[in-house]
Amino acid sequence: MASNKLVMLTIVAIFLPAMALATDYIVGDDSGWTTGFDYQAWAKDKVFRVGDKLVFQYPKGYHNVFKVNGTGFKNCDIPPENQALTSGNDTIVLKTPGKKWYICGVASHCSMYAQKLTVFVQYPFGLAPAPAPTQPSVPATPAPAPRLPVTPSVPATPTQHWAPTPAPSMPTTPTQPWAPAPAPWAPTTPSVPATPSEPWAPGPAPWTPATPSVPTTPYI
């Protein structure tokens, strides 16, 4: 409980001075909210903060005030009539920071006579809320690429830097056109018959009678 009170007191201590120092701006100063006035030049050198007030003063029934967005401001698009402020002393509290746009929706006061105002609202005295912690972005998982057939690479035969370069081949000796071709058949030289033996030479006897051996006389 004590901690909650401390937080509340801290918030009040920060924003109470800003609320106490809030400024009321009479739009157009002495000219008020009317046609033919340069409201952009009027707001140029002013610093608008959260808690400040814009007071639109004009003769009731001659003008009104509409809060629009950037497109409506540029094109002078008139919102529905029930959104108009028509009191002649309209006070708008600037509750949030950022850009604000206001136009007059009577006739062509906005488009023809530039009766419109834009202001940029800042945080009170430079106070800005701490930025929310950013969540680390998770990278999207890429879709797997389609599988392609892998062609096996043939390793290149390394060149041996030390291997000698092969000698150029010698040209084949061409056949001499004048050399005669070998004869398809060579005649055989007849052999010389051996010299026959003399017909007068007597042939060997067919049988020689054996000489009987003489017995040896024994010694007496």
Measure the CA–CA gap between 110 and 67, rounded to whole angstroms: 13
Measure the CA–CA gap between 130 and 69, rounded to whole angstroms: 27
CB 79 within 8 A of CB 65: no
Q: How many CB atoms lie within 10 A of CB 79?
A: 14
Residue 54 CB-density burial (10 A; 0-12 exposed, 13-18 middle, 19+ buried) = buried
pTM of the predicted model as reported, rounded to 2 decimal places: 0.52
Average pLDDT taken over every residue of the chain: 75
Measure the CA–CA gap between 65 and 38, rounded to whole angstroms: 16
Domains, the chain, with CATH or none: 22-125 (2.60.40.420)
Measure the CA–CA gap between 145 and 155, rounded to whole angstroms: 27
For residue range 17-45, list pLDDT tens digits in order. 545 578 999 999 999 999 999 999 999 99
Q: Mark the ranges of the chain whose per-residue pLDDT is less than 70.
A: 1-20, 125-146, 148-220
pLDDT of residue 220: 45
